[in-house]
Structure 1
Amino acid sequence: MKKILFLLIILSTILLGKDIKTNELLKNLNNPEWIIVDTRDSNEYNGWNLSNLKINGHIKGATDLSANWLKTKYLNSNNKEILKQRVLEKGIIPEKNIVLYGTSTEMKDVEKYLKENGVKNIYFYDFEKNKDYDRLPFETYKNYEILVPATWVKNAMDKNEIKVFEVSWGSIKDAAVYLAGHIPGAPHINTDSIEPPPKWMLNTDENLIKFAEEMGISKNDRVVLYGENVMASYRLAIILKYLGVKDVRVLNGGLDAWKDAGYKTEMGIVKPTPIKDFGSKTPLNKSLIVNENGAKQVLKDNKNSKLLVDIRSYNERIGKESGYSYMDRKGRITGSVWGKSGTKSTTLEDYRNIDNTMRNGYEIISMWSGLGINTNKELTFFCGSGWRAAEVLFYSQVMGLKNNALYSNGWMEWSEDSSNPIETGIEN
C-alpha cells in the first residue's frame, strides 16, 4: 500500500505543474526564458471579463493557448498540425519555463496537451490563490467589444438590446445549417442580397440601404452577426459599418461558440420585420469601402502612407490558380503586398484559431511585419470578392488600427479589365 501511495505521489509530481506566486511571475515577465500562457476563453484574452476579475484582458506580454481549442470537435488531423505549429511559434517549447494561467480545469487540460508534446517545465498561476494578481500589468485590444462572446449575446438578447442575424450564402430553402438550428429569434440573411450573382460584386449603395430596411436594420441599431461560416458575418459587418449602422458586432467563433456555451438553438424560419427608413439615403462611412479607382489611388501612394494588401492564398498570389470556378484570370495586382490568408480561397487559417475565433492580434501584427506590412500606414485589404479581406479588416479594427479600408470587389473586378496591370510568378 505504501509503495502504491509513493508511486502516486511521484506520478502526481510528474504530471502536475508547480504553483508560482505573483512576485516570482513579476520578476520573470520580461525574461525570454519564461513564456506566459493564457489558457482561458480567447474572448477573455481579448478583453472581456467573463470571470469577475478585478481587471480585464490578459497579462501584458502573455501569449494564448485556450483550453477550448483542445476539444475533440476542433482537433481534426489538419487542425492538430496547425495547433502544433502555433505552439512552436508562441515559443512554447521544452527549453522554456511555461507559466499557465486560468482556471484549474483549463490549466490542467493545457498542461496535459503540452506534456504529451514534450513540454515539461510547467508552472501554474492561479488568480484564486494569488489575490494580488492586479499588481500584474494587464492589457486589452482597444476595440475588443465589437467581437463578442456568446454569453454577452445571450444577456443582450434577454434584455432585448440587440438584433441578431444569421449570415450565409443561399436562399432560405437552401440554408440547411440555419434550418437545422439557429440562435433563437435570428432571421437568415442571404449574402446574395449584398453581392448579387452572377458576378457577386458589391451591390449599389441604393440597393444596400434598401436591403437594410427590408431586414429591419436602421443606422441607430445594435446588430450582432453570426454564422457557421464566420467569414460571411464579417463580410456583412463591414458593409453595415459602411452604411453607417451605429453598432455592429460579430459573434467570435460563430455558431460553434453559441453551442459551446451550452445555449439552445431553434428550428424554423424567423422573418425579419422591415422598416421604412434606414435613417440615411446614402452610406455614412464611405471611406471604409473603396472601388477600383480607389484601389488605384492607394497604389499611387504605396511607398508613402498607404498599402494595398492581398488577403489570398499563396497559389492565388503567384497565379497558380484563380481560387474561384467562375473566375479565369490568375495573378496579383501589381504593387500590392501579400498579407497571407490560408491554403484555399475559402479558408483563413492564418488569421484564426482552430475554433474559428480571432487569432492573437499580436501574432497577426508580427506576421504582417515579416511580410513588410507597416501598421502605421493606411491598409486597404482585398481578396477575390471581399469575404476574407473583410474579416481581416474587422480584426484590424478590433486591434484599434485606424483608417483601414476594404477594396470590396478585389481581384474579381481588377482582373476583368485587361488594361489593369497584373503579375504572376514567385516574388523576390
Structure 2
Amino acid sequence: MFQDDPKTLVSTAWLATHLKDPDLRVLDASWYLPGSARDASAEFAQAHIPGARFFDIDEISDHRSELPHMAPPIEKFMSRVRDLGVGDGHQIVVYDGAGLLSAARVWWLFKLMGQNNIAVLDGGLPKWTSEGRELTAEPPVIRDRHMFARRVDAMVKDVTQVSHAAKLGDYSIIDARAAARFRGEAPEPREGLRAGHIPNSRSLPYTDLLNDDQTMKSADEMRGIFQAAGVDLSKPAITTCGSGVTAAILCLAMERFGKSDHALYDGSWAEWGAFPTVPIATGEA
C-alpha cells in the first residue's frame, strides 16, 4: 500500500490537499535529453502546477565543469534557490513532465545540500494532468527566503572514488541505463563515449522501478528488483547512469525501502565513457 512520505515521495492527492499550505514550495524540474524535441522551459511557461517554480538543472549546475549538469557549488545553489523563493522551513515537492525522469535528480541535489524536507511527486505532471487537476500559465509570486545549506559529501562520488570501489568491491555499483547500453550493444546518446559499463557494476534500468503510469512501484517490489538484479544490499551503494540524472531514481528507490547508505556518481557515463585511463566492461555483469 502506498504511503505518502514528505521526505521521499508523495501522491497527487497529497499535493492537491497541501497545495495552498503557506510553507509548501513546488518545483518543476522537467528536463529532456538533447534531441527529444521537447523544451522544458517553454512547456512550463504554457502550463504548470499552480505556484510551481522552474528548476533548471542545466543552469543550476557547476559551469566550471565540461560535464553536463554537475552539482553546483554550495554558494550557487543557495543563491539560485533563494531566487526561487525556496528556503529554510519549506516543504518542497518536485515533479517533472515525463512522470519520473529528472525530478529525483533535484530531490537528490537538495539532500546533497543537507535539505531533507523534499519529496518527489509520484507520477509527476502526467498523472496530475490525467486526473484533471488544476494547471496554470501564471508565473508564481516569489519572495526571497534564505536557505542554509551544508553539503553532505558522503552522498556523491567522483571518478577516482568509483574506480577504487570497482576494484575493491566494497560498494555495490548500480547502473540505471537501459540494459543494451550497459552491455555495450547500443550507442550512447552523447558522441565520443565508449560503450559498456563500469567493471563489477550491476544493471538495473530505472524503468524497471516504474509502473505503466510512471509511478514508482511499492517499496517491497523495488527491494526485490534490486535483489533480482544481483545487487548486494548489505554493501553501501553507488548509483550511476548516463549523466547523473536517472541514477537519482535508484537512490530514491533505496530510500523508499529503507536503505540510506547510497551515493551518486555525478560524472556517470558522460565522464567514465570519455576517460581513456579507466577500464570498461561489456556484456552481462
Q: Please give the TM-score of this superposition, normalised by the length of structure 1.
A: 0.59
**In structure 2, what is the Cα distance between the partners aligned to 1:382 and 1:152?**
30
Tell me, yes or no, if the aligned pair for 1:232 and 1:387 is still in contact at 8 Å: yes
Per the TM alignment, residue 419 of structure 1 is displaced from its structure 2 partner at its CA by 0.6
Is the 1:386–1:409 Cα contact (8 Å) retained in structure 2?
yes
Contact 1:221 1:245 survives alignment (8 Å): no
Matched, 1:187 2:187: no
Distance between the aligned counterparts of 1:404 and 1:244, measured in 2?
15
Q: 2:235 aligns with which of 377, 387, 392?
A: 377
The aligned counterpart of 2:95 is 226
Query: Does 1:47 pair with 2:41?
Result: no
Tell me which of 99, 116, 124 is aligned to 1:246. Answer: 116
Q: Which residue of 1 aligns with 2:36?
A: none
Question: Aligned to 1:393, what secondary structure does the other structure show?
Answer: helix
Relative to structure 1, the CA distance from residue 370 to residue 417 in structure 2 (aligned partners, 3 Å threshold; closer, same or farther) is same
SS of 1:269's equivalent?
coil
Whole-Å separation in 2 of the counterparts to 1:188 and 1:145: 20
Q: How has the CA–CA distance of structure 1 residues 321 and 259 changed in structure 2, closer, same or farther, with 3 Å as cutoff?
A: same
Change (3 A) 1:205 1:145: closer
Q: Which amino acid aligns with 1:193?
A: E
Which moves more between the two structures, 412-421 or 358-367?
Answer: 358-367
- Aligned AA (2:153): K
In 2: Cα distance, 1:327 partner to 1:213 partner: 37
Which gives a bigger RCO, structure 1 or 2 (Cα 8 Å, sep 6+)?
2
Q: Which residue of 1 aligns with 2:44?
A: 178
Residue 212 of structure 2 corresponds to residue 354 of structure 1: yes
Give the counterpart of 2:28 among 157, 160, 166. 166
Whether the 8 Å contact between 1:144 and 1:399 is mirrored in structure 2 is: no
Superposition deviation, residue 174 in structure 1: 5.8
Residues 181 and 362 from structure 1, CA distance in 2 versus in 1: closer, same or farther, beyond 3 angstroms? same
Give the unaligned 5+ runs of structure 2. Answer: 33-38
* Aligned equivalents of 1:301, 1:217: Cα separation in 2: 41
- Is 1:400 aligned to residue 258 of structure 2? yes
- State, as a whole percentage, how many aligned pairs show the same letter: 22
* Structure 2 CA distance for aligned equivalents of residues 205 and 247 of structure 1: 20
Establish whether residue 154 from structure 1 lines up as the match of residue 16 from structure 2.
Answer: yes
1:288 to 155, 174, 184: 155
Superposition pairs for residues 66-85 of structure 1, below 5 Å?
none
| Superposed CA offset, 1:366-423 (max 9, x none) | 2222222122221111001111110111111111112111112211111222111112
Judge which range, 252-261 or 410-419, deviates more.
252-261
Q: 1:349 and 1:295, CA in 2 relative to 1: closer, same or farther beyond 3 A?
A: same
DSSP 3-state at the match of 2:102: helix
Corresponding position of 2:68: 200
Match of 2:162, SS?
Answer: helix
Cα distance per residue 1:349-374 (max 9 Å; x no partner) = 31100111002332322222222212
Flag structure 1 segments of 5+ consecutive residues without an equivalent.
1-44, 49-142, 342-347
* Structure with greater helix percent: 1
| Conservation of the 8 A alpha-carbon contact between 1:149 and 1:257 | no
> Is residue 2:190 matched to residue 1:325?
yes
How many residues align structurally? 275
Q: 8 Å contact 1:46–1:144 — kept in the other structure? A: no
- Residue 299 of structure 1: which of 141, 145, 166 is its match? 166
Indicate the structure (1 or 2) with the bigger Cα radius of gyration.
Answer: 1
Alignment partner of 2:165: what SS?
Answer: helix
Q: CA deviation at 1:195?
A: 3.8
**Cα offset, 1:144, TM superposition:** 7.8
Deviation digits for residues 51-104 of structure 1 (CA, Å, limit 9, x no counterpart): xxxxxxxxxxxxxxxxxxxxxxxxxxxxxxxxxxxxxxxxxxxxxxxxxxxxxx
Check conservation: 2:49, 2:134, Cα contact below 8 A. Answer: yes
The separation in 2 between residues aligned to 1:414 and 1:240, in whole angstroms, is: 24
